[in-house]
Structure 1
Amino acid sequence: MEIRAVQGDITRQDVDAVVNAANNAMRGGGGVDGAIHRVGGPAVLADCIARFPDGLATGDAGWTTAGNLPARWVIHTVGPDRRAGQTDRSLLVSCYRRSLEVADELGATSIAFPLISAGVYAWPKSDAVRAAVETLRTTPTQVREARIVAFDEATYALVEKAITSPDPG
């Protein structure tokens, strides 16, 4: 799989599936979640309510329509919230692994990820980048292209460095 760093807006990625850093309730929120719901429109929320009436567990992933997004699907995953005491790194790794598994179930060959849990959920950015790159490199998948979309230049530089380094740790 080719892993690429992209600086920009995840809602503008023309890929099979866009990953949403969702909350447990699966009803929209702030940050990436809010942007995906705003651009995707009401169909994304309606599908979340239908598919996930009880929400989704931290570390798990599931899919919905992408609504008005250029992608075909949104893969929602719930990252660990360090502010709430969720410090188990395996939950963060599970977000990437489960998202790839869902992508495989859908037949998606291209996927765009945000940096899960590195925003309002306060995961240290450098470790969030390492977890993303390591997991994407080591998880068996049919996905051919995975993008890690960074909103700002500093995060993009961290992601690009981790991707081009033989060992992101």
Structure 2
Amino acid sequence: MTTSAPMIVKDPRALLEPEQFADVRATVLDANPGMTEDIAGRITAQALAFVATAAAHPGASIAPSPVVDEGWHALVLHTQLYAELCERLCNGFVHHVPERPDGSEYDPDLTTRTMLTMASAGYPVDVELWRGPDQSTITVGALTWHTPNGPNCTPIIITPKPKPKGMAPE
């Protein structure tokens, strides 16, 4: 009989200090008048889980839903916080490659692959925030669907920081 250790679920909110999380959540709220703090917090948490997953799997063909992308936009606006987060996650920077708003790019397989990759990285998936354009009950300012730019490409680009001169490679 083979046994496996239970999977530990990571709390994406723990990637930021509580005050930082509140600041990013406030940015989501500012961009989406009428949104509840609960929804904005869930969006922020999923954006953090997505960025952490992208950092851990730089070659994966994954992309956020428009709802989760709203949280990623809020993170990026906090430039110093976002740069420090990326540095901690991957010793580099997870770039956001924007696309023009067009809901026709929706690819349910890409969304499923993204959610599975996040789950395999240990993050909870808030399925309501990953629904397709005809099924989402949450409206956000930017209605983009990110798509890979060709075979085996991804809208996620990780730029590793160069090693300081004189340091031997690991």
TM beyond 0.5: no
TM-score by length of 1: 0.31
Structure in which a larger fraction of residues adopt helix = 2
Structure in which a larger fraction of residues adopt strand = 1
TM-score by length of 2: 0.31
Larger radius of gyration: 2
